[in-house]
Amino acid sequence: MSRLFQPLQQRGLQLRNRIAVSPMCQYSSVDGMPDDWHLVHLGSRAVGGAAIVFTEASAVSPEGRISPQDAGIWNDAQADAWARIAAFIAAQGAIPAMQLAHAGRKASTHAPWRGSGAVALGDGGWQVVAPSALAFDDGYPLPVALDAGGIAKVVADYRAAAVRAHAAGFRIIEIHAAHGYLLHEFLSPLSNRRDDGYGGDFAGRTRLACEVIAAVRDAWPQDLPLWLRISATDWVDGGWDIAQSVELARIAVRLGIDLVDVSSGGLDPRQAIVVGPGYQVPFAARIRREAGVATGAVGLITEPAQAEAIIAGGEADVVLLAREFLRDPYFPVRAARALDARLRVPEQYLRAWGTGGD
């Protein structure tokens, strides 16, 4: 039997297979509101057989958006708009999931196809925040270092967003602490130069992430899974690295994290990444082995046999695909055929895909 198509139990949820749609920013919202684009984009991947369909990185506050066009979950109107999307995903047999995020010093920037760098205050931009007053790169906004009140607000915003996400019908939450966004900025000594209790040594730099995890876990139902996305390494000497990631994962498990979604990079433009198929999978395998936690593998996973090998080899418990799902919303159907596995498909598609599924 294909390991990729074996169910996975996480708390009170059972995943129908090990394939998840990774969070992918769409830069298609107005005032943080999801719309018909999000319904069709996410819904089609649920129809295609994924076990989990993640929203894009959904901002927990207006200042937490990457761009003015990012979706959010900081008010009830947004939660109401997300609710019909979550309901449709669930109706297709997939688990609706939301990634909660704060962009930190990489906020108030242009959508990729609209340019790069900072959006000016007069053009809809805003003052960005970070652990320290260090810009990501030339042309990016100069952040203001968060004070104690600002840090407390971040924790409260994550907690409130989790409550809204549950009310909207989402059944997995992922806390985004990767790719150079706010929580990752606190983790890395390259971006965190604080000399208070939220900086300095490993305990100080991980404090905010731990407080957010604890707050969200407290607000999130105990029978539902909570995930954490991290960058396993900054790919820069002296930065956040895999050894620190393993230790953070061990702490996160004790705080109630059920799976660590393992990516890398995004914090520093000096990063030197050797990219190739499955290049981040060894990080997921090491964290799974040494921290004793379920992991998700990401990064240039494009072929069914490759995904099967990752799961069968015990390198990760779930594979999360992004660009491949943009190219092929029905990747799970293709994978099931290639691996001689069964996958139930919508009744409306049985004429094309076979009786009862493929």
CB 205 within 8 A of CB 241: no
Which single residue is written with the structure tokens 């684009």? 37
pLDDT at residue 356 greater than cutoff 60: no
Q: Where are the beta strands (DSSP E) in the chain?
A: 8-10, 13-15, 19-21, 52-59, 95-101, 129-130, 144-145, 172-177, 226-231, 259-263, 294-297, 318-321
- How far is the C-alpha of 194 from the C-alpha of 178, rounded, in Å? 19
What pLDDT shows up at residue 220?
98
- Residues 201-214 pLDDT 10s: 999 999 999 999 99
Q: Does some domain include residue 332?
A: yes
- Residues 146-194 pLDDT 10s: 999 999 999 999 999 999 999 999 999 999 999 999 999 999 999 999 9
- Residues 50-75 pLDDT 10s: 999 999 999 999 999 999 999 999 99
- How far is the C-alpha of 162 from the C-alpha of 164, rounded, in Å? 5
Q: Does some domain include residue 2?
A: no
pLDDT at residue 358 greater than cutoff 80: no
A 10 A CB-CB count for 155 gives: 17
Sign of the Cα pseudo-torsion (237, 239, 243, 245, in order): negative
What pLDDT shows up at residue 204?
98
**Residue 355 CB partners (closer than 8 Å, separation 6+):** none
Q: Where are the beta strands (DSSP E) in 144-184?
A: 144-145, 172-177
A 10 A CB-CB count for 120 gives: 10
CB 42 within 8 A of CB 345: no
Listed residue (230, 139, 220) closest to 176, CA to CA: 230
What pLDDT shows up at residue 347?
87
- CA atoms in the 13 A half-sphere facing the CB of 6: 11
What pLDDT shows up at residue 354?
63
What pLDDT shows up at residue 274?
86
- Residues 283-320 pLDDT 10s: 999 999 999 999 999 999 999 999 999 999 999 999 99
Q: Does some domain include residue 70?
A: yes
**Residue 51 CB partners (closer than 8 Å, separation 6+):** 8, 15, 16, 17, 18, 19, 20, 94, 95, 318
> Catalytic amino acids?
181
CB 53 within 8 A of CB 11: no
CB 73 within 8 A of CB 59: yes
pLDDT at residue 355 greater than cutoff 80: no
Quote the tokens at residue 270: 């000096």
Question: What domain count does the chain have?
Answer: 1
Q: Does some domain include residue 3?
A: no
**Residue 206 CB partners (closer than 8 Å, separation 6+):** 186, 187, 248, 251
What is the CATH classification number for the domain harbouring 96?
A: 3.20.20.70
Quote the tokens at residue 151: 């840090």
Q: Does some domain include residue 1?
A: no
CB 332 within 8 A of CB 19: yes
A 10 A CB-CB count for 25 gives: 20
Q: Could you tell me the residue range of the domain that residue 101 belongs to?
A: 8-353
**Strand 19-21 to strand 129-130: parallel, antiparallel, or no bridges (unpaired)?**
unpaired
- Residues 87-145 pLDDT 10s: 999 999 999 999 999 999 999 999 999 888 899 999 999 999 999 999 999 999 999 99
Q: Does some domain include residue 190?
A: yes
pLDDT at residue 357 greater than cutoff 50: no
- 22-36, 147-161, 266-280 — which is least confidently predicted? 266-280
Q: What is the mean pLDDT of residues 256-276?
A: 95
Q: Does some domain include residue 104?
A: yes
Q: Does some domain include residue 358?
A: no
